[in-house]
Amino acid sequence: MAESVQTPNQSQNPKSKPKSIASGPDMSRTEIPQFEMPKMEVPAAFREIAEKGIAQAKENYEKMKSIAEDATDRLENTYATASKGCSDYGLKLIEHGRANSNAAFDLFGELLTAKSFSEAVELSTAYWREQFDTATAQFKELSEQAQRVMAETAEPLKEGFTNAFRKAA
């Protein structure tokens, strides 16, 4: 076998494929044998099983894709519902805080115009009694709103999981 030696000034064609492999500069070159692949025909039974498997895989993929898209839509709607509910709850808290602050400023204005200590005690007692009733009503309203938001948020998720399990089965 003759070895071909290239000098640094020669350019090598990158598209040409080498016909031999060398393990190192001192090693001899070895030819790579080329084998032709035998033509094999897959038996009809195996082909039919493979086609059925592919069809089943495509069908399962479509089911899972549909379930995933439905779950994504439900999650987006759930997040939107929860976000709106939390925003409404926050606005209700601000509204109650404003009403309570206004009531406190009204009390302080009345206390400044009180003509006697007994009148001031009477105004203060009436204010606290009214504030207790107001706070109770506000707490009830806020807890009902929180429960409503939780139910509106959880119901679509519960329904979605039920539908997803039904579709998957």
What are the boundaries of each domain within the chain? 59-168
> Which residue has better confidence, 169 or 10?
169
Scanning the structure block, which residue is given the tokens 């089965």?
Answer: 169
**pLDDT given for residue 115 in this prediction:** 92
CB contact set of 12 (below 8 Å; sequence gap of 6+): 6
Closest alpha carbon to 18 in 8, 3, 7? 3
pLDDT at 10 over 50: no
Nearest-angstrom CA–CA distance, 45 and 48: 5
Give the mean pLDDT of 87-114: 94
Kindly tell me if the per-residue pLDDT of 35 is higher than 50. yes
Q: Are 142 and 89 in contact (CB under 8 A)?
A: yes
Model pTM score: 0.57
Report the percentage of the chain scoring pLDDT > 70: 80
Q: How many CB atoms lie within 10 A of CB 131?
A: 15
52-81 pLDDT per residue, tens: 999 999 998 998 888 888 888 888 888 898
Q: Identify the sign of the CA torsion 145, 147, 152, 153.
A: positive
67 exposure class (CB count in 10 Å sphere: 0-12, 13-18, 19+): middle
Q: Given this model, what pLDDT does residue 31 score?
A: 79
| 16-25, 27-36, 76-85, range with the lowest pLDDT | 16-25
**Looking at residue 26, what is its pLDDT?**
53
Closest CA to 94 of 134, 142, 130: 142
Q: What is the pLDDT of residue 169?
A: 64
- Are 94 and 114 contacting, i.e. CB atoms less than 8 angstroms apart? no
